[in-house]
Amino acid sequence: MHIFEGFLPSPWWQLWFVFSIPIIFFGMYRLNKLVSEKRELLPLLAVAGAFIFVLSSLKLPSVTGSSSHPTGTGMAAILFGPAIAAVLSTIVLLYQAIFLAHGGLTTLGANVASMGIIGPVAAYLIYKAGMKANINFYVVVFLAATFADWITYVVTSVELALAFPAEVGGFAASLKAFMLVFATTQVPLAIMEGALTALIFKYVIQVKSDALVELNVITESVLNKIKGVSQ
């Protein structure tokens, strides 16, 4: 999903920065507020950031000019909201671009937009809708993380199709081609990521469930229900 350095032409790489930068700054404000008010949640914040780094570093060859891998952003979006997830993703993507030659600096805005902003927003909305519908907690987490991954790659396909429309069929034909190539690896990877994220939340419920209540991820009643079912 990391679009390589220099791959996007003007004005597309600049436009994605224009889209991403205001959201990153808002996320920094939210992150600073969280850290100042709830410093005891720093370890959980670090785990969420490390989860994004580890999963998104598992690079697999995919579309020319990009790569395929899990994203890890669903967990951060559920725990801290999409704005903070955007900041964590930006830090990870910047580090990977500078030190691992994974992604790029000129394409950072586009990569943040897909993996750090739109994917986490999808995860957050799916999670909130699923909990409101009283769907099983772990099923909702699985769906949120899985769809965050899939939607990230849909957005990446859009970014590439806008920059490189097909000679025949234009944007639509190019979008279809990119999505079909990504689907080969990304459909199973996203499902595995969703299952792993649900397992991690199962562990968090066992050892740090109070943090989930404090972050308004779940209510006390839902937590008691989950623990009652698991006993």
pLDDT (0 to 100) of residue 101: 85
Instruction: Give CA–CA dist 138/224, Å, rounded.
Output: 14
pLDDT (0 to 100) of residue 181: 86
pLDDT tens across the length of the chain (231 residues): 688 899 999 999 999 999 999 999 999 999 999 999 999 999 999 999 999 999 998 877 666 656 678 999 999 999 999 999 999 999 999 999 999 888 899 999 999 999 999 999 999 999 999 999 999 999 999 999 999 999 999 999 999 999 999 999 999 999 999 998 888 888 999 999 999 999 999 999 998 899 999 999 999 989 988 887 544
pLDDT (0 to 100) of residue 230: 47
Strands 60-61 and 67-68: antiparallel
Half-sphere exposure of 107 (CA within 13 A, CB side): 26
Residue 173 CA, distance from chain mean position: 26
pTM of the model: 0.93
